[in-house]
Amino acid sequence: MAKGRITVLVLVAVLVAAALIGCGTQTTDVTQKAENKDVLVIGMPGEARALDPQATNDQPSARIMKQIYETLMYQSPALEISEGLVSEYRVVDDVTYEFSLPQGIRFHNGDELTSRDVQFTFERMRQVNAPGAFLVAALDRVEIIDDYTFRMILQFPFGPFITHLAHPATAIINERAVGELGDDFARNPVGTGPFKFIEWRSGDSIKLERFADYHGQQAASREVLFRFITEDGSRTVAIETAEADIIYDVGPQDFNSLANVEGVNSISSTGLTTFYMGFNVQKQPFDDVRVRQAINLALNVPQATNVAFRGHATPARGPLAPTVQFANQDIPGYDFDPDRARQLLAEAGYANGFRTSIWTNDNPIRIQYAEIFQEQLSQVGIDAAIEILEWAPYLDRTARGEHDMFMLGWVAVTGDADYGMYSLFHSTQFGDAGNRTFWANDEVDRLLDLGRRSPDPDERAQAYQRAQEIVFEEAPWVFLAFRNELNAHRAYVEGFTPHTAGHHILHQVRNR
Amino acid sequence: MHRYILRRLFLLIPVMFGVSLVVFTIMFFTPGDPAKLMLGERAPEAEVAALRAQMGLDDPFPVQFGRFIYNAVRGDLGRSLVTRRPVFQELYARFPATLQLAAAGVLVAVVMGIPIGILSATRQYSAFDAASMGIALVGVSMPNFWQGMMMILLFSVTLGVFPSSGYGTIRHLVMPALTIGTSTAAIITRMTRSSMLEVVRQDYIRTARAKGLSESVVINRHALKNALIPIVTVIGLQFGYLLGGAVLTESIFSWPGVGRLMVDAIRQKDYPVVQGGVLLLALTFSVVNLGVDILYAYIDPRIKAQYK
């Protein structure tokens, strides 16, 4: 009997011991906010993949790396470009830019930033085939003039080059740290930013600390703790209970209710994401522009957008969100006009409509659009079946052109029209590269090439404005919506301005 | 006994091989190209093809499976396609949180379930019995995620006594442990009650009472010990199941366990992590089952005599 009791006691002890593994080791208890005003707690919907800007290009990682690393150029929350790490730059000719670095910028390991680090950064980007390497595909080489001066020489003129140098994927890394740490660099980042890396608790959080030797104004908060709270509802509760000071990407369903919570400020701002429904113009009847226009007219897009996004998106009139540089704000958009749609269909020889399909992946917003459109298209005689595919086969099969109509989105991550249009509408970008409508237009090709190569902002503006007009008229898409970015913070948080590209800057954010 | 344990440990080899084969086959035939996933949608076809060749993804199924087994035996489960870290490290980082939650959950379940089950059985058809069985039925039927959310609303939002999510302190552990513990407790309560009811009708219990033993001695020493075998089986199964990661509970409370890692990996088509995670799950389940079988021997000497 005694043996049995001992067995039970041992078992209970093991269970208790197992249950207490790791308890009490966390140095920052997130429930102790009142005493920890110096710690800024951010609730993020996803975990970072890696903290090496050349290992990944995903949003959660970029949001953390933005605090650790810096780029040669700086992009403000409103997407204005100015000098970042460099003190000045000049355009030597169409393909040569010369940059100067200020002296005394320190990496978190104490090294001084020199031209060699810049050269190393861009060389490594190509060597490791970094996901963000396409941003600087035009770059031929970096020439070092001295420790604080270097030239970037392009293979061909590339208009958005300076803008791309502000993207987090082009952040400057430290040559010695990469050499010493090897693969571990992605979990032990070394940058020049206002915060340095302290700890990564897998699946739970990443902690950063103010970098005392930062070359600019010191960070306002002593620590930033990024917590990975994947469930929308859990993130909302975290801001309600002040366990988080700021939460990113509030669920649309929670956003309205948060507006009524005392002590919480919710912010809705236009982002860079375009939602669209594309036509496969290689297939009949979508090769006929009248059919494409008719479908645009047959759909009540503002109504569908309001339902799908619960009011947190702006109905689109053209392909570029108004926040994107060179977006054409004068495009009238297609009004809801089923009579005119029927007329155009009749002119195209489809007076009795036709059968087709709408493809989407299992994204609930896209499915909701598809369901609403199915009903609205039936009003003009078009019988559209909805097919829901898994993400990977969805991308594969739309890239191969097996679809009729399809729902997709695009984020103009650089905030430049080149990124927002080239992959989607240029005839060299069919399929996987981005142009899944297989629509081609010589004039648009020429304008997009001009916009891409010209360093002259006015010339670029004109090219993109005209290209958007043509895209609108030719309607390879139904232009759906620009998604609003929804964030929230406690009222005591100071200095938080959401970045349009979602890479929020926390340098001067603090709890009052 | 030792020979029995050794034999069972050897049996793990074909079990793990079988699990590997099934998981690898499913992943092999699931649509989606890992090379494209790693390089991104914008990568040129030539680079994707080069990476496929480098990763051996163009090899026939038996070659790829053989390579996977060869590496797995040496402890190399490959690298995550998403984070590029060794899968072993990914799992190792998450397993303590899972173990902690599973152990705490089972502890809650045992502490609640067994006493209530015994009391129900000894007071069959009483108001307590009806109430506890009613509550147990609710406990079994109630979805974990709903219960978790209700607890968050009560204890975090309204009363502010426990953090709504996160990991690291005992206060973080309370609500997730109660969430998974109460549903497991409901199962254990029902099993304890039915097992005890069966035992208390046996002749030897009548004999024990006839000898004049007190009711507590009869129940705790004579009845419970004999009723424990099916209860321990259920506890073991539940523990094994929870070690696989209580996905919904982990998601609601942002608990950094293996379950969430696996779900994220499936969502992102991170094949190596899914394969490694399933192998870990199978291994822990098998080991827990072995532990339960060994425990039988300590509870019941008749079973020990059979272990040769």
Total-model pTM: 0.85
Give dist(CA A14, CA A20) in Å, integer: 10
Closest alpha carbon to A309 in A362, A366, A259: A366
Give dist(CA B9, CA A9) in Å, integer: 26
Task: Provide the residue count of chain A.
Answer: 512
Which pLDDT does position A31 carry in this prediction? 44
Which pLDDT does position B40 carry in this prediction? 64
For residues A3 and B112, which has the higher predicted lDDT (pLDDT)?
Answer: B112
Q: What are the φ and ψ backbone dihedral angles of A206, each rounded to 5 degrees?
A: -130, 135
Tell me what the mean pLDDT of segment A316-329 comes to. Answer: 92
Query: Mind spelling out the 3-state secondary structure of A119-131?
Result: HHHHHHHHHCCCC
Eight-state DSSP code of residue B222: I
Give dist(CA A329, CA A465) in Å, integer: 9
The interface predicted TM-score of the complex, written ipTM, equals: 0.85
CATH top-level class for A271-484? alpha beta
Tell me what the mean pLDDT of segment A53-82 comes to. Answer: 92
Q: Which of B40, B169, B299 sits opposite A29 (nearest CB)?
A: B169
Quickly state the pLDDT bin for A336 (edges 50, 70, 90).
very high
Question: Chain A within 8 Å of B114 (Cβ-Cβ)?
Answer: no
pLDDT digits (tens, 9 = 90+) for A274-286: 999 999 999 999 9
Which pLDDT does position A171 carry in this prediction? 96
Using DSSP bridges, classify how beta strands A383-389 and A405-411 pair: parallel, antiparallel or unpaired: unpaired
- Decide if pLDDT at A343 tops 90: yes
pLDDT digits (tens, 9 = 90+) for B178-188: 999 988 898 89
Question: Chain A within 8 Å of B268 (Cβ-Cβ)?
Answer: no
CATH number of B92-307: 1.10.3720.10
CA of A18, closest CA in chain B: separation in Å? 5
Most confident of A224-238, B6-20, B62-76: A224-238
- Decide if pLDDT at A25 tops 50: no
- Decide if pLDDT at A411 tops 90: no
Residues of B in contact with A25 (CB under 8 A): 168
Domain A73-178 falls under CATH 3.90.76.10 = yes
Range in A26-40, A204-218, B85-99, B110-124 with the lowest mean pLDDT: A26-40
Q: Which of A57, A129, A243 sits opposite B163 (nearest CB)?
A: A243
Q: What are the φ and ψ backbone dihedral angles of B84, each rounded to 5 degrees?
A: 65, 10
Which pLDDT does position A1 carry in this prediction? 45
Tell me what the mean pLDDT of segment B26-55 comes to. Answer: 75
Q: Count Cβ neighbours within 10 Å for each residue of A453-490 and write b for 16 or more, e otherwise.
A: bbbeeeebbbbbbbbbbebbebbbbbbbbbbbbbbbbb
In chain B, where are the structural domains located? 2-87, 92-307
Whether B84 and A25 lie within 8 Å, measured CB to CB:
no
Question: Chain A within 8 Å of B115 (Cβ-Cβ)?
Answer: no
Q: Give the residues across from A267 on adjacent strands.
A: A487
The domain defined by A14-53+189-270+485-511 folds into D-Maltodextrin-Binding Protein; domain 2 (3.40.190)
Residues of A in contact with B173 (CB under 8 A): 19, 23
Closest alpha carbon to A431 in B36, B56, B57: B36
Closest alpha carbon to B240 in B107, B108, B106, B136: B106
Residues of A in contact with B103 (CB under 8 A): 14-19
Tell me what the mean pLDDT of segment A64-76 comes to. Answer: 96
- Decide if pLDDT at A35 tops 80: no
Residues of A in contact with B33 (CB under 8 A): 392, 396
Give the dihedral of Cα atoms B60, B65, B67, B68; nearest 10 deg.
140
Residues of B in contact with A397 (CB under 8 A): none
CA of B127, closest CA in chain A: separation in Å? 30
Give dist(CA A505, CA A64) in Å, integer: 9
Contacts of A321 (CB under 8 A, 6+ apart): A270, A271, A272, A273, A274, A314, A327, A412, A420, A482
Provide Rg for chain A, Cα atoms. 26
- Decide if pLDDT at A291 tops 80: yes
In chain A, where are the structural domains located? 14-53+189-270+485-511, 73-178, 271-484
Task: Provide the residue count of chain B.
Answer: 308
pLDDT digits (tens, 9 = 90+) for A233-274: 999 999 999 999 999 999 888 898 898 899 999 999 988 989
Eight-state DSSP code of residue B86: B
Give dist(CA B96, CA B90) in Å, integer: 11
Q: What are the φ and ψ backbone dihedral angles of A208, each rounded to 5 degrees?
A: -120, 160
Whether B260 and A134 lie within 8 Å, measured CB to CB:
no
pLDDT digits (tens, 9 = 90+) for B162-210: 999 999 889 999 999 999 998 889 889 999 999 999 988 889 888 988 9
Which pLDDT does position A23 carry in this prediction? 52
Tell me what the mean pLDDT of segment B13-24 comes to. Answer: 89
Whether A187 and B85 lie within 8 Å, measured CB to CB:
yes
Helices (H) and strands (E) counted in chain A, each on its own, are 15, 19
Quickly state the pLDDT bin for A3 (edges 50, 70, 90).
low
